[in-house]
Structure 1
């Protein structure tokens, strides 16, 4: 905790400018990020008021060991920076949006000559166009099925240049076969533009566009084309009729409602696109103790819309926010167009908001019942471990390391992170063992700990902060190997234990006898969870590497295939599995592969089936 003199020095240095303040604990971990119109006034408010500040703020202040700040030119810039820093550090005292999963998107690789439309779980900084996030994979799959039934786009993967005949989709009129030149890139992109209108909910505009094309085809006596467009039109209308029109203005808008618990809240989001209610989703907000409705909406809007691909022009709320204009400007910059926050007073908008509020209350009760059970178990587990292992403080951040290999082949390691007794999956890390030959788990564990601590020492943000407790999957040998490296590197102060599988014995450094936790101990359950998760994560990575290497090595067994030809084939078809499905002509069509070699490849995979 900061002394009065340190607090006074900090407050004296703070400017009255807008900006962001960053609070850290004694380990250097960011524990809170906030924005302010006046940095001096906002930060000062944390250190005055005593008990009136609330429990959460009091605990936060007690844990502040360092305070940094960044001055910005405006409150909007401060809001953008605050949002980015919260997303980056996930501070434990900030209100946290928990959706428990990566919501899916639909991606179109618009820069490709003949793009595909596909489902993805993450947005990446590429040249693709993304739609979403969608509330569930089922909604995405339903949307993709509708697209594939209405728009004849390719669904195949790989290099089209290497294909010599069309697939089944061409024969059933679900693809125009760009693979064999049956459609130009220009005409293909016209269809793609229709798909984008469909995904943006602009069905009326799409219908009008197809009707014009259909009428034009009929006038030109191209009745076959007109009939195809008619069938497509009927399909789009059938999909549209399933979606109830809520608003006759056909605008895009989101409706947000809130239900609050003691330290938990639920936001219900209704998505309206083109006047139709397309979906509903609930979101859990944690660490909400003492927060106002306004603060909760502020946290949700900045975190959720910070990642959203499509931001509607209107967002309906039950209350007006004091920094309304600042948030509208923030969203305008994200959207590239005007966004308005409104509080409906009557009519359909008010009715839909009330419906959203009822849904939020129901979902909150579900969250509370699950959350209380999980939270109590996690907290009791941390308390049990603190007492049983004689720790000086709760092991808030725990890291568990596991090695996975088969007779020393493809040896890998995992680092799994739990925070507050629960998995922090975005902080998991995996390693390929580089310096150890053969099945030597002790040396492998030493290498992994050394690399993890060296990454921290070099300031790698992927390995910040240091853990309160390190758990080694293994016995005395693995523990000794880990401790030796840690002490040599100057990290001997980090508490370290090993958990042996057979009897679930807990080994501590410099103690010959293990600690035996009761079978019903929440502390033992927590250790088992993190150990099992580390084992699962390492094994999954190991299997992935082993499968990849096994498949690639299959090509080495084919007569006439060396390093260069193997590379050519993999570049052409993408994978060994794909090569195995090709006939001789398709393989021989690849530049650099003679007909005789193609026959050898074909024969090899037919024999091995």
Structure 2
């Protein structure tokens, strides 16, 4: 029997084990006692996956920390160590991100999913929340500017002017020293890093390099700040349901939203389309697929535009969907989503009777055409249904842009 009274109210990470002692789930929270208690007191609010998890919990271990950044890195290291089955299938789940630091002369820092991890790089993760990774790297970049691309124009970029990028020709020695400090953060060695910085600050002051000493002092102050309290809690006090249950709820909410306007009773397969274009040569389209409760990258398809040599987004969208519909062996979607508004929806609706919506970037509005009338639906920003559509749209955009860059790269060889 788990004694919830013994669980601390401190922030930190919690580890669930089953009766055999195997770690089955790792999470983080601002208030460990409150978070863990939710799993055992709100059965009616739990999804089926989360209920299954709770039924297998035999013991709870907690590890307390002082800050969000420490909790984020600790959670990642525990997931990497134990590979808990209820933290999703890490190799396939695209919600898990890794931070990658290349081993080149001027190392670059990027993020990637498991299937796209680069070779010859130091890998940190997995991190369950992509938003948390972006927040973490944004914080680190303010302390120690880094490059996120191997190539840099000779002119200074926007990040250079914001003191977030070392520019086109950084001093390799100083830059690599900063990369070493970033690695200490990602390894959770905060005390060691602060000790190193204090030592460097004293050396700079002793040699009367007061400008450098002030920069290091600001770094120390900032580092002490982010590891001494909870300054950004939006990613730490979230819904306790597992990602699979959140996605299941998103599908249910989306059906409820669309059913009054479209003939939809189930959403087992959703296809999302996007167009990417540059100049007058590189026009491509993408199709990404949601099925079996998650993105299915084995079903993704890419298209090189054949019938148009000038920018025409809605015509290109129509071509891509038309060519896709020539392949019934790929499966039949219950819903088609296009990136765009009325022009894109109007173009595609002329060639298919499959339920169709657009997602207009401006205010993330759902666009639906019913015969000669239009419906515009604005869901709350935190709606699981809207977040699912945005995730699909962004994934289609990423996939299309990657294909376009591949074509450009091939043409330059």
Which has the higher relative contact order, 1 or 2, with Cα contacts under 8 A spaced 6 or more apart?
Answer: 2
TM range (shorter): 0.3 to 0.5
When the two structures are superposed, what TM-score results if normalisation uses the length of structure 1? 0.34
When the two structures are superposed, what TM-score results if normalisation uses the length of structure 2? 0.45
